[in-house]
Structures are given as C-alpha cells and as structure tokens.
Structure 1
Amino acid sequence: MSVHWAYVIECADGSFYTGYTTDVERRVREHDRGEGAKYTRGRTPVELVHAEEFETRSAAMSREYEIKQLSRRQKERLVEGDGDCEG
C-alpha cells in the first residue's frame, strides 16, 4: 500500500512551495538539488516545514490544492503547528 503526502517546503528566499509526493525525503532532496519543481530552482536550499500523510493520491492532492489556496499568513500558521489556519 502506497503512502501519499502533501508537503510544504520553505525556500531560501522565505517563500513556501506546496507539493504532492509518495516519498517526501526523496522529493525534498530533488528540490534541494534543483531537480524539483521549476519554482524551487534557484531558491535553494529548501527545508521541509510541513507534511501530511494520506491513504490515497486523491486525498493528498486535494489537500495540496487546499494548502495552495491559503494566504501567506494561513500557511505560516499551518507550518507553526497552529491547527486553526482559517484566518
């Protein structure tokens, strides 16, 4: 059974990138080497700051989309571990 993840990394410039993967450690290494998403290239090094595990790809990708819709402040709250990231 595969595990699916929605994750947030913080780039060297302080920006956040949200993605989906089945292997968080591998994906973060790829981002860090400049082999990940186009957005993260040139913004290295990156640091994993949040990850959520899901049983299905669909659930993880839905959560990825939800996180991408959050404001900067809401993402900061999520990363800080404050469960209330509504506003």
Structure 2
Amino acid sequence: MKVYYVYILMCSDKTYYTGITSNLEKRINEHKNGKHLDSYTYKRRPIDLVYFAEFTNVDIAISTEKQIKKWSKAKKEALINNEYDKLPNLSKKKFNKS
C-alpha cells in the first residue's frame, strides 16, 4: 500500500510551506538542499519539518494539502502544536459589527 504525506515546513523567514509527497525523507532533503531553484523554500532556507500526516488515499491527501494551504498562520500553528480544540474557533469568520 502506497503512503502519501502532507507536510508543513517552517522557513527561515518564519513562513510556512505546505506540500505533499510519497517520499517524505527524499522531499525534505530536496527542500534542504535547494534542488528546485524556483521553489518557495529555495530562498527561505534553512527549513525545518514541523508537521506531517500520513495518508493511504491520495485524493484525501491532496484535499488536505489544499485545505491547509488556505489556512491562516494561527490555524497552521494550532495544528502543528496539536491544539486541535482551537481549530474550530480559528475557522470562524470575523464579522465587523457596525
């Protein structure tokens, strides 16, 4: 059974990069070594792997990656820190009461 990984990297500029791969170790090394000159992480090295999740269904992995990419920094940090109880409140839209 093939395994897919959704991962989050912390870049040197304190931004997050979210990606998907079927070979986590190889892909992280590619990020660290700057294999792809045009990648988001190339000029933001060094990077650190701060989160990953395993999936056996590629469609769910892709969907999860797309979902996380849309999240705020605060919501990604709650996920990284295993603060799952904070995720619903971080998802609520703030409405301006005027």
Q: Give the TM-score normalised by structure 1.
A: 0.93
Say which SS state the counterpart of residue 38 (structure 1) adopts.
coil
For the aligned residue pairs, the C-alpha RMSD in angstroms reads: 1.2
User: Using the alignment, how far apart are the partners of 2:4 and 2:21 within structure 1?
Assistant: 6
| Deviation sequence 1:6-62 (CA, Å, 0-9, x none) | 110101111100000011111111001112561001111111100011111111110
Residue identity matched to 1:76: E
The runs of at least 4 consecutive aligned structure 1 residues that moved more than 2 Å come to none
Structure 2: give runs of 5+ residues left out of the alignment.
91-98
How many percent identity over aligned positions? 37
Aligned residues: 87
User: C-alpha separation between the residues in 2 aligned to 1:25 and 1:83?
Assistant: 26
Distance 1:83 1:73 in 2: 12
Runs of 5+ consecutive residues of structure 1 not aligned to the other structure: none
- The two structures have a TM-score, normalised by structure 2, of 0.83
The amino acid that maps onto 1:41 is Y
Q: Distance in 1 between matches of 2:35 and 2:84?
A: 31
What does 1:43-54 correspond to in 2, within 5 Å?
Answer: 43-54=44-55
